[in-house]
Chain A
Amino acid sequence: MPESIRKFETTKTEWDRIAASQQFQDLMATKKVFIIPAFLFFLVYYFALPILVGYAPAFMSTKIIGNVNLAYLFALSQFFMAWTIAFLYVKAAGDFDRLARDIIDKAEAAPGSQPNPDKGGR
Chain B
Amino acid sequence: MSTPLVMFLVFIAITLGITYWASRRSSGSSAYFAASRRITGWQNGIAVAGDYMSAASFLGIAGIIAFQGYDGFMFSVGWLVAYLTVLLVVAEPLRNAGRYTMADVLAYRLKPRPVRAMASISTLTVSTFYMIAQMVGAGALVALLLKDSGISYRTAVVGVGVLMIVYVVFGGMLATTWVQIIKAILLMAGTLLLSILVMAHFGFSFSNFFNAIGHVTYHEKGQEVVKDFLTPGLRYKPPYGALDLISLGLALIFGTAGLPHILVRFYTVPDAKTARQSVVWAMILIGSFYIMTTFLGFGAATIVGRDFISTHGGTNMSAPLLAQALAGNIFFAFISAIAFATILAVVAGLTISATTSFAHDLWTNVIHNGVERKPGEEVLVARISAFVVGAVAITIAILLGPTANVAFLVALAFAVAASANLPVIVLSIFWKRFNTTGAVAGLAVGLLASIGLILVSPSLMAVDPPTVTGAARHLIQAKAWFPLENPGILSIPLGFLGAILGTFLSHEPSSEHKFNELLVRSNTGLGAERAGAH
Contact = CB atoms under 8 A, between A and B. Distances in A.
Contacts of A120: 98-99, 527-529
B242 A55 contact: yes
Contacts of B276: 89-90, 93
B290 interface: yes
Contact of B370 (A27, A90, A122): A122
B81 A121 contact: no
A8 B513 CA distance: 15
Contacts of B287: 79, 82-83
Contact of B526 (A35, A85, A104): A104
Nearest to A19: B516
B526 to A, nearest CB: 5
Interface in B257-273: 273
Given A117-B529, A120-B529, A78 B524 contact: no
A104 B516 contact: no
Interface string A2-45: 00000000001001101100001001100100010011001100
B243 interface: yes
Interface in B46-81: 70, 73-74, 76-78, 80-81
A78 B76 CA distance: 10
A2 B430 CA distance: 27
B152 interface: no
B232 interface: yes
- Interface size, B (range): 35 or more
Contacts of B529: 117-118, 120-121
Chain B CB within 10 A, most for which of A71, A107, A121, A122: A121
A78 B77 contact: yes
Contacts of A15: 516-517, 520-521
B87 interface: yes
Contact of B232 (A19, A31, A71, A82): A71
B280 interface: yes
B230 A67 contact: yes
Contact of B99 (A51, A71, A83, A121): A121
A82 B520 CA distance: 28
Nearest to B521: A15
Contact of B527 (A51, A53, A66, A116): A116
Interface string B226-241: 0010111100100001
A50 interface: yes
Nearest to A8: B527
Given A31-B523, A107-B526, A89 B77 contact: no
Given A12-B517, A50-B249, A78 B81 contact: yes
B283 A121 contact: no
B265 to A, nearest CB: 16
B477 interface: no
B525 interface: yes
Contacts of B83: 82, 86
Contact of B249 (A46, A82, A107): A46
B97 interface: yes
Given A78-B81, A103-B526, A104-B524, A53 B231 contact: no
A103 B243 CA distance: 46
B88 A100 contact: no
Interface in B207-239: 207, 210-211, 213-214, 228, 230-233, 236
B283 A86 contact: yes
B89 interface: yes
A19 to B, nearest CB: 4
Given A69-B230, A75-B73, A122 B112 contact: yes
Contacts of A68: 210, 230
20 contacts: A39-B85, A46-B249, A50-B248, A53-B245, A54-B245, A61-B232, A71-B232, A78-B80, A78-B81, A82-B80, A86-B83, A93-B276, A97-B273, A100-B523, A107-B526, A120-B99, A121-B97, A121-B99, A122-B104, A122-B107
Interface of A: 12, 15-16, 18-19, 24, 27-28, 31, 35, 38-39, 42-43, 46-47, 49-51, 53-55, 57, 60-61, 66-69, 71-72, 75-76, 78-79, 81-83, 85-87, 89-90, 93, 97, 100, 103-104, 107, 115-122
Interface of B: 70, 73-74, 76-78, 80-81, 83-85, 87-89, 97-100, 104-105, 107-108, 112, 207, 210-211, 213-214, 228, 230-233, 236, 241-243, 245-246, 248-249, 253, 273, 276-277, 279-280, 283-284, 287, 290-291, 370, 513-514, 516-517, 519-521, 523-530
Given A82-B80, A89-B88, A120-B529, 18 more contacts: A15-B516, A15-B520, A15-B521, A39-B89, A42-B88, A49-B249, A50-B74, A53-B232, A66-B207, A67-B228, A71-B230, A71-B231, A75-B70, A85-B88, A86-B279, A86-B283, A97-B273, A121-B105
